[in-house]
Chain A
């Protein structure tokens, strides 16, 4: 039974990477200098030369008219995230099948989104950007910043899960226990426990969810008023400090 190349094999370990069709790394920036705060999130291609980091930082500062002190901070932040990503490269991620829940809980400008769904870690053709596009189209979201934010949120969770998998794969090797088909990972704030595949997909169960569960998996999109946005932002800032 030869599996497709786009799916990870259920036998061989998978090398670390973001399990999507583009191996793009989510980068998040949150820098404050002299009372000015700069927050941003985007995807970065780790195969770009590192010289691009500084170029990007300079361009960002110039476009947003930030004080020049931001250039080095931005560049450093990006670089360190990149380096961390690269430190995992080459290591084994997981063996066996992994379907994990992904949760969305984000606010982009006036749009508030809550959602959850399943994601197959072995599906290397998966595309968070496409998911985000479909999401925005189906829900009629017009703010163009929402889509990318959703995609990045998904990527971040996948990244975190992948990192955890590397750690736990190491552990299992050290413990030298026999591997089963399905491993479980420690509970994280992002991914939760991987889905019990036998229970969900085995022959005794239906892949149709019970009606009462539909609400849980249905996306919620709220448009906030200005006051609500302000209130939320204030709360977030307070929490961040």
Chain B
């Protein structure tokens, strides 16, 4: 919400006009004009403009409005209250309050009104303020991995992650009432955490309960089972065998404070997998540290996955890297199609630099394992039809280069245009590109055919884009999309 100075003249005499006062109103209220009544006013306060009462006329409205604004501007630093105002105006208090609220809502008055001394107002603001408490809320705790003893600082409270096990890890030095079940099971761990010094957590041997200094052995299957070097050397494995343990070097234990972790998360969200930038942001940790730390976090690998998805597309945008969504494609033939779609999205993003994250969030997680048509369907539902049309168009062009059969289908000049236009409707239709020209299914009857662009044949059910050129080349043929036989054309045999 940008603030503009609105150069408004209060009704003063010509002599005083020399020094005009500047009053600040929000830019969304720039419609306001002193000498005029705007449509917004007429609509919001229509009771003044519908002739329903002698007590409410446009003239009266303007008098109220102008008076209120002038009154406010006598003291722009303070907040003009309704009660202070209403004594000066003749009229029903409810109606006056409505005018007052209208002007206040639009920031025409009380916009730069200060944080007032009124206690009630302060109270209300406090209620809305977010209170930042130390330590995570009681109910929500995040662990690196279930049952992990790795020294990990818990995530700061604002990050609410559903994942993670039930265990709790204490913040360095912060206190919290341990849940009964937690302390029963993880009592030892709790002890360790509380014993730990600032930024350093201890690793205790499961056998001799001594602190393991430079390294310890960890059971591959049960991360809780730790043995110090001494016990391991003694063969004190308990019921496990030696092979199950792996050595973990503690000497270069990297410790992350909460602030650093938060910084890391923010950086990853912002920069994706550009670890250079991430490491720069988290100034105190190296690239490798960042990566391994992220992996340790409960959703870390998810973030990495999505970070990978945020691959930057270099070639299309003249060296400018814009994060776009790409799909982890397993079908090569459709790479370009997706790329094109991404480009479409990118373009949209570039044009609308405002909330790119919102856009990103709305693209559903594309599961590479779900059917391609589903993916395509989802993608095409995200962007507008023209974008999808262009994408499909380009994809088809590429396919034609690669694939002889496709070329036949799309570019075959033997398709006459006898049928001309079919039921190309007014509604927009999307073309889903051919997945696989070899995948011809058995002949099934489909509805009346529709034909679109470049001689492609699409059945009515499949065709969803309104191409500009309606030249039907169709005859008895296969629908390029669903591979059903399309009936209803000239009936001329295809060559």
A residues engaging B (CB < 8 A)? 1-4, 6-7, 10, 97, 99, 117-120, 122-123, 125-127, 130-131, 134-140, 142, 195, 197-198, 200-203, 206-209, 211, 214-219
User: Chain B contact residues: over half helix, strand or loop, or mixed?
Assistant: helix
Of all chain B residues, which has the CB nearest A3?
A: B52
Task: Determine if B53 and A117 form an interchain contact, defined as CB atoms under 8 angstroms apart.
Answer: no
Tell me, rounded to whole Å, the shortest Cβ–Cβ distance linking B104 to chain A: 12
Rounded to whole angstroms, the CA-CA distance of A3 and B50 in the bound complex is 7
Q: For residue A200, which residues in chain B have a CB less than 8 angstroms away from its CB?
A: 55, 90
Known: A117-B86, A214-B88. A203 touches B59 (CB 8 A): yes
Task: Determine if A208 and B118 form an interchain contact, defined as CB atoms under 8 angstroms apart.
Answer: no
Contact with A along B68-99 (1 / 0, CB 8 A): 00000000000001111011111111110100
Task: Determine if B92 and A140 form an interchain contact, defined as CB atoms under 8 angstroms apart.
Answer: no
Tell me, rounded to whole Å, the shortest Cβ–Cβ distance linking B99 to chain A: 11
Of all chain A residues, which has the CB nearest B83?
A: A138
Tell me, rounded to whole Å, the shortest Cβ–Cβ distance linking A49 to chain B: 30
Rounded to whole angstroms, the CA-CA distance of A50 and B120 in the bound complex is 38
Known: A135-B83, A207-B91, A209-B89. A7 touches B119 (CB 8 A): no
Q: For residue A131, which residues in chain B have a CB less than 8 angstroms away from its CB?
A: 93-94, 97
Q: For residue A7, which residues in chain B have a CB less than 8 angstroms away from its CB?
A: 47, 52-53
| B contact residues, total (Cβ < 8 Å) | 33
Decide if B476 is an interface residue (CB 8 Å cutoff). Answer: no
Tell me, rounded to whole Å, the shortest Cβ–Cβ distance linking B53 to chain A: 6
Task: Determine if A99 and B55 form an interchain contact, defined as CB atoms under 8 angstroms apart.
Answer: yes
Rounded to whole angstroms, the CA-CA distance of A97 and B50 in the bound complex is 15
Q: Which of A127, A137, A195, A218 contacts B94 (CB 8 A)?
A: A127
Task: Determine if B53 and A97 form an interchain contact, defined as CB atoms under 8 angstroms apart.
Answer: yes
Q: For residue B83, which residues in chain A have a CB less than 8 angstroms away from its CB?
A: 134-135, 138-139, 219
Q: For residue B52, which residues in chain A have a CB less than 8 angstroms away from its CB?
A: 1-4, 7, 10
Counting residue pairs across A and B whose Cβ atoms lie within 8 Å, the total is: 114
Tell me, rounded to whole Å, the shortest Cβ–Cβ distance linking B44 to chain A: 13
Q: For residue A217, which residues in chain B have a CB less than 8 angstroms away from its CB?
A: 86-88
Contact with A along B268-307 (1 / 0, CB 8 A): 0000000000000000000000000000000000000000
Q: For residue A130, which residues in chain B have a CB less than 8 angstroms away from its CB?
A: 94, 97
B residues engaging A (CB < 8 A)? 46-47, 50-55, 57, 59-60, 63-64, 67, 81-84, 86-95, 97, 118-121
Task: Determine if B82 and A134 form an interchain contact, defined as CB atoms under 8 angstroms apart.
Answer: yes
Rounded to whole angstroms, the CA-CA distance of A208 and B90 in the bound complex is 6
Q: For residue A2, which residues in chain B have a CB less than 8 angstroms away from its CB?
A: 50, 52
**5 extra interface residue pairs, beta carbon distance < 8 Å, beyond A1-B50, A201-B60:** A3-B50, A118-B92, A127-B94, A130-B97, A209-B90
Of all chain B residues, which has the CB nearest A127?
A: B94
Q: For residue B87, which residues in chain A have a CB less than 8 angstroms away from its CB?
A: 209, 214-219
Task: Determine if B121 and A137 form an interchain contact, defined as CB atoms under 8 angstroms apart.
Answer: yes
Known: A122-B53, A208-B67, A219-B83. A201 touches B92 (CB 8 A): no
Rounded to whole angstroms, the CA-CA distance of A52 and B119 in the bound complex is 38
Tell me, rounded to whole Å, the shortest Cβ–Cβ distance linking A212 to chain B: 11
Task: Determine if B50 and A208 form an interchain contact, defined as CB atoms under 8 angstroms apart.
Answer: no
Tell me, rounded to whole Å, the shortest Cβ–Cβ distance linking A23 to chain B: 16
Rounded to whole angstroms, the CA-CA distance of A1 and B46 in the bound complex is 13
Task: Determine if A3 and B118 form an interchain contact, defined as CB atoms under 8 angstroms apart.
Answer: no
